[in-house]
Structure 1
Amino acid sequence: MPTALITGITGQDGSYLTEQLLDRGYTVHGLVRRTSNTVRTRLDPLFHNKGVYNKSLFLHYADLDDATTIRRVLVKTQPDELYHLAGQSHVGASFDIPESTCQFTAMGTLKLLEILRDLEKQPRFLHISSSEIFGRPDEFPQHEHTPMRPVTPYGVAKTFATQMVQLYRESFGLFACNAICYNHESPRRGESFVTRKITKAAAEISLGLNDEIVLGSLDGRRDWGSAPEYTTAMHLMLQQDAPDDYVLATGKTHSVEEFLDAAFRSVGLKYKNHLKQNPKYMRPAEVTRLVGDPTHAKQRLEWTPTTTALELAKQMTAADVESLK
């Protein structure tokens, strides 16, 4: 029975990946930050399943900057695979907290790589990178060899981490991969992200619980895919004969306005009747035309994304309606 360790296990991707690995017969260990709040909504069904929790799923307390504890957990659990999903993942927030974004997203990854370098049993390692490493690219769509030109603190931190993974793979022989993920959504997306903000507002307005949604620019275009489909690809990366980097994307973009329109239409509303725009939600530096080329993943992993952004908008709105009811 293979064993996996997941950092960021309580997040959107971590919860889906955990379910998928458990279904495949894995023993799963997860690193969680110690806080006064023990409610972990995305993992609650597994957490309260006595046949799973402390049987095939185990949680360990550790922060990303606590190298000693992480080393101890790795030595104790001896994982075959390590999925590094943790880090400050909100692009907009990275302008407000650039130091902590770099501390956890950039240096947290380097500390993990240093620990793995010294381990007697080195697990296969996956780092979740981001399309934000490309920033304002000169080529469309972007692929694994597109030059990195980040324009946000988050993008800069992810670029550092991505290049460190490549360096440790080439210099120290680690089985280390980068999953260069474009935006991927689900009903488990955090409420601070624009997609979830939109679908939650559509659900609330449709139920008479709210009357408006406040957003910044509607012009930004994103390559949006489905989170469970992307975590499936993450697992496939560590099953290959050799480590490599892979762009995970749909190859198609939609504007925030299109996503907004699809979400509100799915509950019989017109977004223009409820929208207010606020300049404070505009980013200081906005990326342009980030759209990924998933050809490498399709060919090597035999992976193809199937859920469109507009389908995601409907799915997420329906889930929010159900939750609010």
Structure 2
Amino acid sequence: MKKKIALIFGVTGQDGAYLSKFLLKKKYKVYGVKRRSSIINTQRIDDIYIDINSKSNFILCYGDLTDSSSILSLIKKIKPSEIYNLAAQSHVKVSFEVPEYSADVNGLGALRILEAIKNLNFEKKIRFYQAGTSEMFGRTKERFQNEKTPFYPASPYGVSKSFAHWITINYREAYGIFACNGILFNHESPIRGETFVTKKIIQGLMKIKMNKQKKLYLGNLYAKRDWGHAKDYVEAMWKMLQQKNPDDYVIATGKTLTIKEFVNKAAKKIGFKLKWVGKGINEKAINIENNMPIIECHKRYLRPVEVDYLKGNTQKAKKKLNWSPKISIDDLIDEMIQHEL
């Protein structure tokens, strides 16, 4: 049987690293695409990357979603059986500061991959996965969000991902490409980027515990999110591309916590006893042991438009993909704490 070949855009990110390792266990040959940079940022995949001359099943190559020619060249040369587009400017707050770049990478980047598949006449040879996000639902009023919930994005990031979602559907219907959208709710891990709130909370609390940091600053404490583990979610990505027909799926846990509840869980595990005082932007957490404030809110970390509530309905994924999350929020937090230790 011919070995399957996967091409992963965004391989150096959290999801790219977990997906690469998952596919290698499935005996794939994996090509990971990273942007050229003067900084070595391969720490998440250093355990599977050997070197350019090795006969490894994991090969690192350069490319950029803003460069059509590099995308076309890679797909033409590698001839993958599956393409996973995980590359993005994925920070919601940052997308307000670099909206044009976010739109170019997140929206047009997906289009460039689909165009390359079409122009190379690989419509019947390649299966394509597009990484969507719950931020596309944004300010929706629906209590549970599923595949039929209308999008109401509240950031350039959410808007750009909505374009990528619909252009994927459009190319599936217009050209017969096996193309799937995974609408993934928040998924975290020990290797999450340091500017994302779960990692920031765990890392900040650990540094305060070790007297390496005095305070942790946060934004909206009452935003509710549906948090899962990235390791579970990459399996769902793969399962989508193994189906008989392409389709779109919500991937989530169906459970929510506020930022404040996440903080309380993590703080208790790390050994803090907190007392919350104040309201609104002046709310803060006091360390009961020494009566010192260790968590405060700051307007710098508020978004121009807040998304207050996201919660996914995964009935379709459970039924069609036989997928459900295995790792609980408590186990996720434990794993993230152990990683920091």
Common fold by TM > 0.5: yes
Measured against aligned partners, the alpha-carbon deviations of 1:148-192 in whole angstroms (never above 9, x if no partner) come to 111111010011110000111111100000000000000010000
Change (3 A) 1:148 1:158: same
Measured against aligned partners, the alpha-carbon deviations of 1:209-263 in whole angstroms (never above 9, x if no partner) come to 2222111121111000010000011000000000000000001110001111111
- TM-score of the pair, normalised by structure 1: 0.95
Alignment of 1:22-37 (within 5 A): 22-37=24-39
- TM-score of the pair, normalised by structure 2: 0.91
Change (3 A) 1:24 1:104: same
Q: Secondary structure at the match of 1:41?
A: coil
Q: Secondary structure at the match of 1:104?
A: helix
Change (3 A) 1:164 1:39: closer
Q: Secondary structure at the match of 2:47?
A: helix
Asked if residue 289 in structure 1 is aligned to residue 309 in structure 2, the reply is: yes
Counterpart-to-counterpart distance in 2, 1:53 and 1:231: 26
Asked if residue 309 in structure 1 is aligned to residue 329 in structure 2, the reply is: yes
Quote the offset at 1:53 in angstroms. 5.4
Measured against aligned partners, the alpha-carbon deviations of 1:182-204 in whole angstroms (never above 9, x if no partner) come to 00000010000010000001221
Q: Secondary structure at the match of 1:44?
A: coil
Q: Which AA in structure 2 matches 1:300?
A: K
Aligned partner of 1:156 among 156, 159, 165: 159
Q: Secondary structure at the match of 2:142?
A: coil
Q: Secondary structure at the match of 1:214?
A: strand
Measured against aligned partners, the alpha-carbon deviations of 1:75-125 in whole angstroms (never above 9, x if no partner) come to 111100000000100111111111100010001111111111122334100
Asked if residue 78 in structure 1 is aligned to residue 79 in structure 2, the reply is: yes
Alignment of 1:97-246 (within 5 A): 97-121=98-122, 122-246=125-249
Change (3 A) 1:205 1:80: same
Q: Which AA in structure 2 matches 1:304?
A: S
Q: Name the Cα RMSD after superposition.
A: 1.5
Name 2:277's counterpart in structure 1. Answer: none
Counterpart-to-counterpart distance in 1, 2:99 and 2:41: 27
Contact 2:228 2:325 in 1 (8 A): yes
Alignment of 1:56-71 (within 5 A): 56-71=57-72
Q: Secondary structure at the match of 2:138?
A: coil
Identity, % of aligned pairs? Answer: 42
Q: Which AA in structure 2 matches 1:214?
A: Y
Give the length in aligned residue pairs. 320
Counterpart-to-counterpart distance in 2, 1:155 and 1:53: 39
Measured against aligned partners, the alpha-carbon deviations of 1:287-315 in whole angstroms (never above 9, x if no partner) come to 13210001100001100113233332232
Counterpart-to-counterpart distance in 2, 1:269 and 1:49: 44
Name 1:11's counterpart in structure 2. Answer: 13
Segments of structure 2 that go 5 or more residues without pairing to the other structure are 275-284, 288-293
Segments of structure 1 that go 5 or more residues without pairing to the other structure are none
Counterpart-to-counterpart distance in 1, 2:51 and 2:233: 25
Counterpart-to-counterpart distance in 2, 1:291 and 1:248: 10
Quote the offset at 1:49 in angstroms. 7.7
Name 2:298's counterpart in structure 1. Answer: 278
Counterpart-to-counterpart distance in 1, 2:98 and 2:303: 14
Q: Secondary structure at the match of 2:60?
A: strand
Contact 2:103 2:160 in 1 (8 A): yes
Range moving further from structure 2, 35-44 or 102-111? 35-44
Q: Which has the higher helix share?
A: 1
Range moving further from structure 2, 268-277 or 126-135? 268-277
Contact 1:224 1:308 in 2 (8 A): no
Quote the offset at 1:129 in angstroms. 0.3
Change (3 A) 1:97 1:53: farther
Q: Secondary structure at the match of 1:19?
A: helix
